[in-house]
């Protein structure tokens, strides 16, 4: 009789471990998603700061102005890829 009890206990332990592993995988995916979202927000913030710096720069040189416009276009393109929208 004790052998039957032990095998039942082992089955329960294995089932519990399998359930725990499933929850652990789900928690890991959730954590990874949160990390990706935090990385995306940091990237957006860095690009917004670069954009603001470019917009605040004043120059009379047409070559410099052209370079700033190109850089601004690239930054805004990267921001759009990250799902950024202009804040008014």
Print the SS3 string covering 3-67.
HHHHHHHHHHHHHHHHHHHHHHHHHHHHHHHHHHHHHHHHHHHHHHHHHHHHHHCCCCCHHHHHH
pLDDT value of residue 63: 96
- Predicted pLDDT of residue 84: 86
Confidence of residue 6 (pLDDT cuts 50, 70, 90): low
**Is 82 a residue whose pLDDT tops 80?**
yes
* pTM given for the model: 0.65
């Amino acid at each position: 009789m004790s052998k039957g009890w032990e095998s039942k206990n082992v089955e329960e332990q294995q089932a519990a471990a399998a359930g725990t592993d499933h929850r652990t995988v789900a928690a890991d995916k959730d954590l990874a998603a949160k990390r990706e979202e935090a990385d995306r927000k940091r990237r957006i913030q860095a690009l917004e700061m670069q954009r603001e710096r470019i917009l605040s720069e004043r120059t009379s040189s047409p070559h410099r102005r052209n370079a700033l416009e190109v850089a601004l276009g690239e930054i805004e393109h990267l921001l759009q890829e990250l799902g950024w929208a202009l804040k008014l």
